Structure 1
Amino acid sequence: MSFKTIQIRYQTARSLPAPYAYFYVLTAQAIASQSLQIDLAITYPDRDDIDDDELIAEGYTRDDDFKWSGRLPKTWLSAFDTFIGKTQLQEFDEEKLGEDDDYWEVELDVSTGSIKKGRPNNAEDWQYLMQELIQASYELVGRERPFELTYLDFSGKQNDMELRLTASFAERTVQIVTFINKREQRKTVPWSVLQHTMAEVYNHEFEEEEAQLKRPRQEGQWLNIGSDEWYDVSEMPSLQKRLRNL
């Protein structure tokens, strides 16, 4: 189902307190079947009574509210088309939402001229897509960098491997560079590969105090996910398999 515009109003559940609670309004407009015009505003309410030190300890700042307007490429337009085609909007009564229910309201103007409004039946899928879009907007303004992952597999044999994955949320592209015995291979993979890879990576717990702060040279399997830390993943066979098969 092609669309003209879609507006999404979202708010975290009432049971989620500050500083974690937030709401946003997003409007997306299809531009000549070539790009997606985005207007996004994110607000973090009820933080006046929280000390700056507490905000910093939780990974926030006093000024996390965010506004952005700009265009995303055709890959994003295609993603929205796909999601809209899988979505049914259902009527809902805001007064009947529970304390733990997120608020969703989607207004969709489709190419036939009709306007539909309601709560998406696949809200979890939309939540994931919106987090990717927010990451894309942060990337475009320089607030975040593209996602980077480096995997080292030093076996002590003749098949040492280094894999570098770079994913741009703004472009919705994933590039992989692999070095095996210093021979370089490059390829572009579908966006779904990143989603499955990140799910596998973050399915594991990584302890910062056990990480190395310098690039390892000794035998083993090591993972870096864009920070200074290198994590020993030699006891994580499912993660090793996922990364070696990229």
Structure 2
Amino acid sequence: MHLKTDDIIRLEIEFDSGSIPPPFSHTYKIKTGFEKDFVNTQFDITYTEREELSEDEIYEEGFTPEDDYSFKGELPKIWESPFKTLYGKTNWSNKKNLDENGGIKILAKDKHGKIVRGIPSNPEEWQYLAQEFIQGIYEINQKEAPLTLQYYVNDSQEGELFYELTVKFSVRKIELSINGKSINVSWESVKALLGFVFLPDYDYDQAQEKKPNKRGHYIHLGDGFWHEFGKGIINIDDTFDATSKIKSEFRKLNKH
């Protein structure tokens, strides 16, 4: 059963990471209520099966013993449409429950009081949207600042270009400037770039703190370091050239 999208007043998303080991294993639940002027939100994330890990082992993987997090509050109304749009185009699997591999479950309620539950056949899209929403929550609650990226190009073909990109998940807004000039870009136009940026491995031993001035291509991930393409950025998957994809997506932004 599929509820009419326009009638939905509440969506709940439950995620289980499945059989991946701690400290990475976790579950989260997002509850959204679509009000007149905002999206009423409750979010809880719990990291699981850490009992046998020492604090040092947790810290070594980039986590802390206090990673569980809860939020209750309001997010901007602009989030209602992406959730309803994704629900409207989703087909549902025949599975009733998640298995050991984990996954995602959806609950929807409409204004007539009908409630349906299902496991989507497009879980990656739901997980991606959920992660964007979680970043929006972190911004609203000032747990994290908006994502900022800088990209510097200095070569004979493209000349000298300095991109400054700010991604405001809370309001689904992109701020972009190239050589100081503001460029209007849509949220969707940056999605592919964001998907590629964090795929490679960044070697901080080869990174530098000052903005480069030599020929080359460089990226700054908002953490104080510049990484050079061809030196300190390494494709993890030999079958997929993420570094070239990053460059091409920035070029696309320069054509808007």
Q: What interval of TM-score do these two structures reach, taking the shorter chain for normalisation?
A: 0.7 to 0.9
- Provide structure 2 residue ranges, at least 5 long, that are not aligned to the other structure: 232-242
| 1:1-246 map, 5 Å | 1-2=5-6, 3-13=8-18, 15-32=19-36, 34-94=37-97, 97-99=98-100, 101-155=101-155, 159-179=159-179, 184-233=180-229, 236-246=243-253
Q: Please tell me whether the aligned partners of residues 96 and 118 of structure 2 are also in contact (alpha carbons under 8 angstroms).
A: no
Write the distance in 2 (CA, Å) between the matches of 1:241 and 1:191.
Answer: 17
Q: Deviations over 1:198-243 (max 9, x none)?
A: 1232343332222222211122221111112211126855433321
Q: TM-score, with normalisation over the residues of structure 1?
A: 0.87
- What percent identity do the matched residue pairs reach? 27
**Residue 196 of structure 1: how far off its partner (Å):** 0.9
Q: Give the counterpart letter for 1:17 in structure 2.
A: P
> Which ranges of 4 or more aligned residues in structure 1 deviate by more than 6 Å?
none
Letter in 1 for 2:218: W
Judge conservation of contact 1:89–1:117 (CA < 8 Å) in 2.
Answer: no
Deviation at 1:147, TM superposition (A): 0.8
Runs of 5+ consecutive residues of structure 1 not aligned to the other structure: none
SS in 2 for 1:189: coil
Match of 2:238 in 1: none
Deviations 1:86-108 (A, max 9, x none): 123445343xx543x21433211
Three-state SS of the structure 1 residue aligned to 2:20 is: coil
Q: Distance in 1 between matches of 2:45 and 2:38?
A: 22
The TM-score normalised by the length of structure 2 is: 0.84
Q: Deviations over 1:129-153 (max 9, x none)?
A: 1111111111222221111110111
Distance in 1 between residues matched to 2:158 and 2:22, nearest whole Å = 53
Cα-Cα RMSD: 2.2
Q: Distance in 2 between matches of 1:175 and 1:109?
A: 35
